[in-house]
Structure 1
Amino acid sequence: MSQPTFSFTTTAQEVATVFAKEIQGKNVLITGTSVNGIGFETARVLAKHANLIIITGHNSERLKIAEDTIKREIPSANIRPLILDLSSLAAVRKAAAEVNAFPEPLHVLIHNAAATIGPFKLTADNLENQAATNHIGPFLLTKLLSAKLLAARTAHCTPRVVFVSAKGHIFCNGVNLTTLERPDPGSHESMDAYFQTKVANILTGIELSKRSKGQINAYSLHPGIILTNIMHKGDVVAGLKKLEIMDEDGRPSDKKYPWKTIPQGAATTVAAAFDPSLNDKPGAYLDDCVEANDTISPHASDSGNAERLWSLTERLIGESFTF
């Protein structure tokens, strides 16, 4: 079969149709699946082919709306809602215990959820909220579900972990390990904190692939610039105006960077989760549905940075993550 041609305008549905055979029979967990987001669109297109889609969110009402919306369109979809608050380590452990009690193995874990970009806020675990939700919580969840992922491994299937990162990782100087360990309200800048977590996503994908030695393949990606729920909250608009991604009136501006629709934005996630040509590229970073390692900033691809971040994150969760 010739390699499919994907581009900036490719939609998630188009990618799912190409890889329908790979998606068939698979069990997938996706974090952050509120309607009008790329996590929801990812769940919707995969639900047509997959055996089981576990959708997550910290708001039970929004989770129910997402489940009902998918089931109305795809009555045969096997959707299982899971309450998950990634900002709380206790809540992550509770949700992981629920998933581990499910009878099915887990073929793909997609880290899509992200915290609202906003002022400095500490979690119950004394972690900065964005760092906890976007990096530390997902790291712990991956660790706790690793046995479930390994149980899906066969001669023809290597389980995958997908991190939705962002091209914006280039706008910071890497992860500040000092403030990750000891959050400092004085030096907190909300957009910078967000970009640091996106660096952390890429580094974790690289290090997870390395440490698992072929047992689990991890990938990270840039979904594109998309008008989703998160774009209307917190300090996002001011930050995007500064980067000229939005105009003075807070509307999308394609002066510097073109915008994608939600269906286009979810496409790269589906490719990262199921494209078989990525089997021999563990740790790869994707953009527009294809491998784009050459576009990663040096601070987000440095193996030393990846190792240091991994070790510190183990310390922060109080558990070591080994295979």
Structure 2
Amino acid sequence: MSFPTFTFNTTADEVATAFAQQIQSKNVLITGTSMNGIGFETARVLAKHANLVIITGYNAERLALAEEAIKKEIPEANIRPLILDLSCLASVRKAAAEVNAYTEPLHVLVHNAAAPGGKFKLTVDNLETQMAIAQIGPFLLTKRIAPKLLATSSASYTPRVVYVSSGSHRVLSGFDLDMVAHPDPEKYTSGGGYSQAKSANILAAIELSKRAKGRINAYSLHPGVILTNIHQNEESKAGFIAAGVLGPDGLPNTSGRTKWKTMAQGAATTLVAAFDPRLEAKPGAYLVDCVEANNKIAPHASDPETAAKLWNVTEEIIGEPFSF
């Protein structure tokens, strides 16, 4: 079967239409699905084809709004809300137990949630917030529900885990492993914390694929630059303005080198990572504009030794081994 060639301009709906057969009958869990975000757009588009879409968030009211909006557009959609606060390990364990209790299998896990930048903040577990939400919470969630993903593995299907990273990981000259377990407010910057967290996403996809040995395929991706609820968050807006991503008015700066995507274009690469059969032989791949782009990973985010060390450090933080 031949599939279309995707580009910068490809939309999530176009990807879902191309892979409708692959999405049909699949159950997908997506983190960070608040409205006006690419996680919501991913869920909305998948709801047209998938058997079940599990949407998550820490705010029950916002989660209900997302569910309502999808069902209003797609009345037949099978949407299930799940309360999940990735900044709290106890909440992650509770949510994972709920998922494991579902009667349906789970085929795809999409780690889309991200913390807004801003000042240095510790979680209830004394972890830096951006790293907790991007790496440590998702690691624990993946570990706890891995058996449910593995149960869908067959001769014709390999379950997938997708990490929504960012091209901003390239800003760093190296990955600071010590900051993961021992966050230091003196060394922290909002942008640096974001780039660290997004580097961790890429390293996690590489190491998960390696350790799973073909039983789970993991991928990471840069969705593009999209105006989302994170850009509008008051804590992070100033940083984006200072970086020139947003203009002084808080709106996208279209005069610079940044090429902006629509929300529909922004969610497209996530769907490719989750369902494109052409990626089957490329576990751990990094995608940009809907295609493999491993050459665009910064050296610190593709180093196998760093990936293994990050895995081990994260195991120590959650107090649980994650092995296959």
Name the TM-score class by shorter chain: over 0.9
Matches within 5 A, 1:82-121: 82-121=82-121
Cα deviation for residue 251 of structure 1 reads 2.4
Q: Displacement, 1:235?
A: 4.3
Residue type matched to 1:239 in 2?
Answer: G
Offset at residue 253 of structure 1 (A): 1.8
Residue 288 of structure 2 is matched in structure 1 by 287
Q: Report deviation, 1:234.
A: 4.2
Which residue in the other structure is 1:272 paired with? 273
What letter is aligned with 1:123?
T
Contact residue 117 and residue 234 of structure 1 kept, 8 A: no
**Structure 1 residue 319 corresponds to structure 2 residue 320:** yes
In 2, Cα distance between equivalents of 1:234 and 1:115: 12
> Structure 2: how far apart are the matches of 1:246 and 1:174?
26
1:246-261 correspondence to structure 2 within 5 Å: 246-254=246-254, 255-261=256-262
% identity of equivalent residues:
64
Query: Structure 1: how far apart are the matches of 2:2 and 2:297?
Result: 27
1:263-308: per-residue Cα shift (whole Å, max 9, x none)?
Answer: 1100000000000000000000001111000111000101011011
1:164 — aligned with what?
164
C-alpha change, 1:173 and 1:235, in structure 2 (3 Å) is: farther
Q: Is the 8 A contact 1:119 1:234 kept in 2?
A: no
CA distance in 1, matches of 2:178, 2:170: 20
Query: Which residue in 2 is equivalent to 1:123?
Result: 123
Q: Work out whether 1:179 is the aligned partner of 2:193.
A: no
* Paired residue type of 2:87: S
Deviations along 1:176-206, one digit per CA (max 9) or x if unpaired, are: 1112111111221011101100000000000
CA distance in 2, matches of 1:174, 1:318: 26
Contact 1:166 1:198 in 2 (8 A): yes
How many residues align? The count is: 323
The verdict on how the C-alpha distance between 1:197 and 1:217 changes in structure 2, with shifts beyond 3 A counting, is: same
One-letter amino acid of the counterpart of residue 182, structure 2? R
Separation of aligned partners in 2, 1:51 and 1:250? 39
- Secondary structure class of the residue paired with 1:307: helix
Residue 129 of structure 1: how far off its partner (Å): 0.9
Bigger Cα displacement from structure 2, 27-36 vs 236-245: 236-245
Deviations 1:51-95 (A, max 9, x none): 110000000011011111111111111100000000000000000
Aligned residue number for residue 215 of structure 2:
215
2:33–2:43 Cα contact (<8 Å) kept? yes
TM-score (norm 1): 0.98
Give the aligned residue type for 2:301: A
Separation in 2 of the partners of 1:71 and 1:299? 42
Q: Secondary structure at the match of 2:309?
A: helix
Cα distance, 1:232 vs structure 2: 1.2
**CA separation in 1, counterparts of 2:173 and 2:311?**
18
1:298 equivalent in structure 2: 299
Give the Å deviation of 1:175: 2.8
How far apart, CA to CA, are the structure 2 residues paired with 1:111 and 1:194? 15
Residue segments in structure 2 that go unaligned for 5+ positions in a row: none
Equivalent position amino acid for 1:115 in 2: A
- Report Cα offsets for 1:86-110 as digits up to 9, x if no partner: 0000000000000000011110000
Large movers: runs of 4+ above 6 Å: none
The answer to whether the 8 Å contact 1:107/1:152 transfers is yes
Query: Root-mean-square deviation (CA), in Å?
Result: 1.0
Deviations 1:99-141 (A, max 9, x none): 0000111100000011111111111111111111111000110
